[in-house]
Amino acid sequence: MSTQTPSDDLAGKISAIQGQIGQLQTAVQLAQARDSIEDLQTSVNSLDQRIADLRRKGYAFDKHLEDQAADYRKQWQALSPSVTQQINDQAGSLQSALKPLETKMSQLVRLGNNPSAVQPVMKGLEADVKNLEDKVEAVERAINGMYDQFYSQLSGLQSRLNKIEWTMKALAEATFRLLPTESGIMAVKAVWARTGEEKKGDPSGILYLTDQRLLFEQKEEIATKKVLFIATEKQKVQDLMLDVPVALVEEIELSKKGVMKNEDHITFKFGAGAPVNAAHFHIWQSNLEWQSIVNRAKAGEFDTDRAIEIDQETLDKIKSTPGKCPYCGGDIDQVVTRGMDSIKCKFCGSTIRL
């Protein structure tokens, strides 16, 4: 049985309005809008350093990244003064609108022991508080609207940089090494479904795409000892399991799996000379995006988008690859990946220097 009295109920309502007034005292300063602008400024200022770090780590593509960063910086320099001015103007107006409400709040507290006198003041104050809250929200939406298109475009670039940074970190930790002049394009967390259908125990790791190869490296902790189905000992496994020249990718199939059909799966079918006929992966990125970048790599499109050029001597090596083995005369049908300095004849086993 409730022991709350009408006086307790009234005191609770007054306390709730006080809480709303307290929140408004912060909200009318538009602190959230100011924080968003500061975060945006920091993001714009950090672009140059992020891109420079990626170049230093060997990311060779997207030759217009530096120009994009400079363009965003110019756009923001032109836009930010008007946004800041609008925040200051609107904050001053909202703070002025709050003062009468603070006065009414003081009056309401003084009348707290007189229910008949409190009710009309409280109803009027509740309406005023709601109106000011709505006004603050409208002002915040209007301010956001001043730069939402710019923010959306910048977020797209940041998302791309995040993926590339993750890729370069994964490559730095990989057990394999890139060939001379080979450059990483993208990496993604993946499970290699060896039978075409993902099953418990399938290797989990990272799928890599470079401008020369498609690779999968298992990278996970595997239970080596269990007690009552709980792993008590684990061993880290990291091993390159698939290494295929991207030129041997002949077909790409996409599928959505899982109960909600929200899992991205991709199947690569390879031509003659590949270690496997096909490989099916569950990946944690858009499979459409991966289909696109693999096709671009296969077509050599990334070579035209390089920020770090390849020396002519390396290109000439590929052009001068012999069609027949100089030792046994056997046909050489091996795909020569740029950066390789030798190939082995499949007939006589001789090493042929390029």
Cα-trace Rg, the chain: 32
Give the chain's domain count: 3
pLDDT band at 209 (very low <50, low <70, confident <90, very high): very high
Residue range 171-187, pLDDT digits in tens: 999 999 998 889 999 99
Cα 209 to Cα 186: distance, rounded to the nearest angstrom? 5
pLDDT band at 310 (very low <50, low <70, confident <90, very high): confident
Last residue of a domain, one of 146, 161, 176: 161
Residues 18 and 132 reside in one and the same domain: yes
Q: Which residues contact 84 (CB under 8 A, 6 or more apart)?
A: 37
Q: What is the pLDDT of residue 352?
A: 47
pLDDT band at 229 (very low <50, low <70, confident <90, very high): low
pLDDT of residue 334 exceeding 70 = no
Residues 259 and 319 reside in one and the same domain: no
Q: What is the pLDDT of residue 326?
A: 54
pLDDT of residue 333 exceeding 50 = yes
Residues 154 and 189 reside in one and the same domain: no
> Average pLDDT, stretch 164-171?
98
> Average pLDDT, stretch 213-230?
82
Share of the chain above pLDDT 70, in %: 82
Instruction: Point out the least confidently predicted range of 79-93, 172-186, 296-310, 314-328.
Output: 314-328
Highest mean pLDDT among 2-11, 60-69, 303-312: 60-69
Residue range 232-275, pLDDT digits in tens: 677 899 999 999 999 999 999 999 998 889 999 999 999 998 99
Instruction: Point out the least confidently predicted range of 7-21, 135-149, 331-345.
Output: 331-345
Q: Is residue 49 part of a domain?
A: yes
pLDDT band at 115 (very low <50, low <70, confident <90, very high): confident
Which of 170, 157, 154, 169 lies closest to 62 in space, CA to CA?
A: 157
Residues 149 and 93 reside in one and the same domain: yes
Q: What is the pLDDT of residue 118?
A: 82
Residues 273 and 325 reside in one and the same domain: no
Residues 298 and 351 reside in one and the same domain: no
Q: What is the pLDDT of residue 341?
A: 54
Which of 287, 251, 296, 337 lies closest to 61 in space, CA to CA?
A: 296
Residues 13 and 155 reside in one and the same domain: yes
Q: Is residue 192 part of a domain?
A: yes
Residues 152 and 240 reside in one and the same domain: no
Element (H, E) at 192: strand 184-193
Residues 10 and 154 reside in one and the same domain: yes
The boundaries of the domain holding residue 241 are 184-305
pLDDT of residue 156 exceeding 60 = yes
> Average pLDDT, stretch 44-53?
97
pLDDT of residue 38 exceeding 50 = yes
Residue range 50-66, pLDDT digits in tens: 999 999 999 999 999 99
Q: Is residue 172 part of a domain?
A: no
Provide the CB-side half-sphere exposure for 104 (13 A, CA).
Answer: 21
Q: Is residue 175 part of a domain?
A: no
> Average pLDDT, stretch 270-295?
96
| Phi, psi (rounded to 5 degrees) for 333 | -115, 10
Residues 114 and 207 reside in one and the same domain: no
> Average pLDDT, stretch 192-214?
95
Which of 302, 337, 46, 300 lies closest to 186 in space, CA to CA?
A: 302
Residues 88 and 117 reside in one and the same domain: yes
Say if residues 43 and 154 touch (Cβ distance below 8 Å): yes
Last residue of a domain, one of 288, 305, 322: 305
Q: Is residue 173 part of a domain?
A: no
Q: What is the pLDDT of residue 350?
A: 52
Q: Is residue 354 part of a domain?
A: yes
Q: Is residue 262 part of a domain?
A: yes
Count other Cβ atoms within 10 Å, centred on residue 36.
18
Q: What is the pLDDT of residue 1?
A: 44
Cα 341 to Cα 214: distance, rounded to the nearest angstrom? 19
Q: Is residue 179 part of a domain?
A: no
* Amino acid at the residue 217: E
CATH, residue 218: 2.30.29.30
Residues 70 and 195 reside in one and the same domain: no
